[in-house]
Amino acid sequence: MSEAQQPFRRFSNLQWYLAHSENRVHLLCACPDDIAPATFHDLVGQMLRLAPQLSWSESLLQDGHLVAPMVAPAAVSRYLPMPGSGLLLRDLEADLAETLADTGRPAFRASCLAASEPDARGVRALMVLQATHGVTEGGDISRLARGRRAQHEGRPESRQRLRKVQRLAMWAMLPLLWSGFLFAARLRRRPLHEFRFVRVSLDRAGVAAAVRRLGVTHRAFLFGLVLHAVLHDPNRKRRLNLAYSTLPMARARKHDDSFLNVRMDEFRLQTAATPEASIRATAAAIAARGPTPIFVQAWQSAVLGWHRRTRRIAPWLYRRGFFGYTPYDLVLSLVPPLLLGPSWGPLAGATFFAGSNTSTTPNCIFAVTRDRITLTLWADSAVAARVEAIIGNAEALGVAAEVWQ
């Protein structure tokens, strides 16, 4: 049965968690050219055609997606003319905090702020595309940029399975993991109102030169640069607990998520005295993991499945703080390169920022274009206040960088 014929689609365990934590992802486009209302609606309509799941809505009560026919662009978008050149990214922060679940409307929004004159950076229009994480992911953004359909069905599947000893170990660990997660979520209380977005732009050519000089991968360089800047503490004795996302070539039939293609891995790290040393330590830690182990994905899904069933029986155990909690100091994501196809001409020359509101779990998402690499950090005030250290470390490594406000 095709997606268009399905009136309802049950959440996977990961989608269930993402929906209840109100996890929202967004792509912010800072455009040097004027975007007229008709052009804006054409762009939104193109996205809806290439990714029909953007018309779905999420139901927390029924734990699933209400699948609906494609909506008209005007139903999910708004166009706001702005006088002068006073465009500020913080003008969009209220939009990025808006809930998209249980509204009866599609779990997707598009906004465009159009100024009559360019600002100091030459930005004439700000366009933000926002969706729940349960219907889209970083790989979708990359495919849409290329003008390709963001297909979630019919992807290649591998025969990868857990070994018998791994299955036994996972089931033996589940009660401990289940109770530990529940207990830790109650103890670790980060005030949500302190969280905010911080955005930084890096020169891609400078990053490439630093990567060659240090002999590491782009992923390790970017991750290590941010980790040293915002989390390095010479007095910290414990290692950082970190997670990062990958997009495997094929989905493991029995263990990967039934809808989302993203797979999470984790590593532990002790930052070093200098940014270069922290970057090399990050590279070594990631290289030691090798290909993303399916075991991590399998136990995460199994633990969430246990919580999903328990919550039906004893909902009082699950205060709001449970959703949005993870045991990581930072979650890192590198979106596949955004290479614009010819149908996205109005966005040519735009600077793109990909971000995610993950409640009280701090994260950093990197977006790569032809000449820039941007990062969007979602973190509490103490971490966000160290953004200048990212700039300082990048420039010390020969990479031009600037904060976008």
How far apart are the C-alpha atoms of 211 and 111, rounded to whole Å? 36
Note whether 77 and 223 are same-domain residues: no
pLDDT over 60 (residue 389): yes
Note whether 216 and 93 are same-domain residues: no
Instruction: State residue 38's pLDDT score.
Output: 94
Give domain status of residue 198, yes or no.
Answer: yes
Note whether 97 and 204 are same-domain residues: no
Structure tokens at 339: 């290479």
Instruction: State residue 327's pLDDT score.
Output: 87
Instruction: State residue 212's pLDDT score.
Output: 97
Band of the pLDDT at 260, cuts 50, 70, 90? confident
Give domain status of residue 271, yes or no.
Answer: yes
* CATH code of the domain covering residue 397: 3.30.559.30
**Which is nearest to 366 in space by CA: 195, 193, 221?**
221
Note whether 316 and 169 are same-domain residues: yes
Give domain status of residue 183, yes or no.
Answer: yes
229: phi > 0 → left, psi -120 to 50 → alpha, else beta; which?
Answer: alpha
Note whether 8 and 129 are same-domain residues: yes
Instruction: State residue 366's pLDDT score.
Output: 97
Note whether 130 and 169 are same-domain residues: no
Note whether 187 and 127 are same-domain residues: no
Give domain status of residue 292, yes or no.
Answer: yes
**For residues 46 and 96, is the Cβ–Cβ distance under 8 A?**
no
Instruction: State residue 285's pLDDT score.
Output: 94
**Which is nearest to 31 in space by CA: 93, 144, 102, 111?**
111
Mean pLDDT taken over the chain:
87
Cα–Cα distances (Å) from 88 to 30, 115, 127, 257, in that order, read 10, 10, 12, 37
Give domain status of residue 175, yes or no.
Answer: yes
Contacts of 105 (CB under 8 A, 6+ apart): 57, 75, 76
Mean pLDDT lowest among 107-116, 256-265, 346-355 = 256-265
Calculate mean pLDDT across residues 40-59. Answer: 93
Domain that holds residue 305: 163-335+346-404
pLDDT over 90 (residue 192): no
Band of the pLDDT at 158, cuts 50, 70, 90? low
Note whether 44 and 9 are same-domain residues: yes
Cβ neighbour number for residue 330 with a 10 Å cutoff: 24
Give domain status of residue 144, yes or no.
Answer: no
pLDDT in tens, 225-253: 999 999 999 888 889 999 998 877 666 66
Percent of the residues in the chain that have a pLDDT greater than 90, as a whole number? 48
**For residues 23 and 358, is the Cβ–Cβ distance under 8 A?**
yes
* CATH code of the domain covering residue 16: 3.30.559.10
Q: How many domains does the chain have?
A: 2
Note whether 106 and 178 are same-domain residues: no
Note whether 106 and 180 are same-domain residues: no
Note whether 266 and 192 are same-domain residues: yes
Give domain status of residue 146, yes or no.
Answer: no
The H or E element that residue 10 is part of is strand 8-10
266 exposure class (CB count in 10 Å sphere: 0-12, 13-18, 19+): middle
Instruction: State residue 152's pLDDT score.
Output: 77
Give domain status of residue 142, yes or no.
Answer: no
Band of the pLDDT at 4, cuts 50, 70, 90? very low
Structure tokens at 183: 């207990």
pLDDT in tens, 279-299: 999 999 999 887 666 778 888
pLDDT in tens, 318-333: 876 788 888 899 999 9
pLDDT in tens, 67-124: 888 889 999 999 988 876 566 666 677 777 778 888 888 999 999 988 888 888 888 8
Note whether 229 and 369 are same-domain residues: yes
User: Which residue, 99, 121, 136, sits at the end of a domain?
Assistant: 136
Q: Note the residue count of the chain.
A: 405
Band of the pLDDT at 2, cuts 50, 70, 90? very low
